[in-house]
Structure 1
Amino acid sequence: MPYPDKLLAEDEEVVRHLHPHWTTLFWPVVRLLLIVGAASFGVAAIPDGRQQGILRMVVLAVAVLLLVLTVLVPLLRWRTTHYVVTTHRLLFREGILARRGRDIGLPRITDVSYTQSLWDRIINSGTLTIESAGDSGPTVLRQIPDSDGVQQLLNHMIEEDADRRAMESAGYIDDRYGRGDTAPQQYR
């Protein structure tokens, strides 16, 4: 699913759009299987009698409630968490009903680092810590797939953005901005 274009500037393009690593869905799937299995066993184990229908409904109601809380909510949380690297900034959005987000312009990023445990290295995941100019403190993004690759991509995008800004300030703008006549041949 492409990231909503309404959040992007005219000349901004999505470079990479990520969700948290797929392993965040492992335990919800295990819980799904356990709850369905336990509910099936519980419904089948209820003895015949006048209360059988009511007891089965209670077991099913508890199972549905557990499924919503321990399976559906984590799945929706995974699906509604977005880490987006664009040509101008890093966007972070999360939340199911209440939303939270942060945009960090590439020129404001001062440091990008990642950490990986042994398990993270095995599954190719990790934690990114992004330091930016300002008073808001570091942004920590956990369970990022290919965290070292994303760190390298961010560093590359920061350098590319700095080069683009330097070219613009020096008057070397490419043709898409309508001022290509001043740009040297190598930048046209």
Structure 2
Amino acid sequence: MTKHTTARPAWAEAAAGDPDLAPALDLLKLAESGLLCRHAGAQRIASRLLRWLEMDGADVPLDVFIGLAGTGQRAARQRMRLGTRDALIRRLAQTTYPTLNYKAGGDKIARSWCRYAAGDLRRDLASGTVPHREPAQTFFSLARRGHEPLSKHTIRKILARQADHLNPVEPASGKDENFPERGASDDEDDKAKAPCSSR
């Protein structure tokens, strides 16, 4: 088991009773508890969190310090975001279009997503009203997470992967929205146009 320091940061002694520092104290308690966890990965994160707190937060954001944020598409935060997107799309296909294969399901989801984005989405976001029916409910959830409609090619790739395959489908560009790589699509028309352009 890794040996960890358990000395409390100097600021913690004066923080008791200060409501502005209550969240930092709670974070400190969480980190101290994490050191007692049997899981080595949890101990590592707890140790990093303690170091960050000992440095008074330093000039490094916490998510960067513990390794959640980074540059490029393979940063943990981006992969978590894309993994959630992919899971929502797979669930939609399984519950709303269970009889369709991944190609037909991908095409149907892409068309429906574009229609919703061009129609009721703005009104629903402005009112904060969550649609009660699918597929609008999933599209609304994706939009609130910052996702825009994807091409049918990308949705097909997402649906073709097994649910236990944890690597999300990553965009070729830095944006969430992506277009198929050259030669990757079954449909030449899909490569040339944006996902929601008129056909």
Q: Which band: TM-score by shorter chain? A: under 0.3
Structure with greater Cα Rg: 1
TM norm structure 1:
0.23
Looking at secondary structure, tell me which structure has more strand per residue.
Answer: 1
